[in-house]
Chain A
Amino acid sequence: MNLEVLGIIVLWIFLFGYVIVASIDFGAGFFNAYSLLTNKSHILSNIIQRYLSPVWEVTNVFLVFFFVGIVGFFPQTAFYYGTVLLVPVSIAIILLAVRGSYYAFESYGSRGHKGYAFAYGVSGLLIPSSLSVVLTISEGGFVDIIDDLPQLDFWALFTSPLTWSIVLLSIASVLYISAVFLTWYAWKAQDWEAHELMRKYALIWAGPLIFMAVAIIIQMQQHNPDRFRNMISIWPMFGISATLFLMTVWLIWKKRGLGLSVGLLILQFLFAFFAYGISHYPYLLYPHLTIYEGFTNQEMAISLVIAFIAGLCLLIPSLYLLFRLFLFNKEYVTGNQKDFHA
């Protein structure tokens, strides 16, 4: 394997990490807001607070890691994407900033405001929407190189059905991933009411998720036949993903093996995410930039890989500690212990 491929795999893994962790976070915020509107907040808010509080900061780091990494390994992306993404990414930053800081303000400072919870919930859907636009742009057809400068065709982007399909898929994924995770988490916390409610949401959002995923693959045939052929050629990966999806839904339906269902869910998205990524190879921005043209020099690539390995040696034990103390700690999850918050 060459360094280019190694680099993009590492980054893709981190982006995948962000997709999963952030989806749980975004979805939880949305369900919390929705339950406030339907007067069911007493059921959910506890469980959501308990999960989110110690880990919310970690979520953001996955994203930072991805974009710093991609500019490090592929400095040309700064030029291509940096020039065209000013508006959508700035909007995402602002939403992320409002969301992140107000989460802290709310949970550590003052408490309880409906309007805020509502805005918080909606931002959880708007952020993935605005970020998913980056994936749409990467499919090609929206960026022209004029006078050596990439220009984004806003009109084409906003009127393309592909754009909106991807936005809808990102929303459905957020809600589905979050619901499945919280179904399990509530079960672990022995909060049966919350468990039932989340289970219902998980089953509801399974439908739109798979519908949108299939719709996008079909649209690709129109939008970019080249990319569509690539996707078809690795159909077994999408097939495995679909099978895992069915197994997850079945487990949740039968209320069995909920821990396993979360594992299968993660695998399902891992397969789909990597199938998508592989079919995108070798393009970073179709058809203008490939990972080979955009790659940094050998020296930098090697030092980044070394830094990455050293960093992982530091992070994995730390993350393990975090999860052991909170996510997998029975006392903490069930809320049986005293509040040790500063």
Chain B
Amino acid sequence: MALFGLFSGKRKTSAAAAKERLQILISHERQNRRGPDFLPDLQRDILEVVKKYVSVRDDHVSIRLDRAGDASVLELNVILPEN
């Protein structure tokens, strides 16, 4: 294993893959936790609506709630497919 790694240059280990996946997932789940309880449902509903018009990947729609002073800002990000 170790030798193989040497020859093939920087081959990503399964542990590195695990770390990367966990970091993405957990930061996402923490964001949902911080928001109000309806945030995951809202995200799902928005995704449905967007999908009626364009085909987007599930993970290309994200919403988050930020606090700015005494107001809350709902931020919606949709990555649209090219063309």
Q: Do A and B bind each other?
A: no
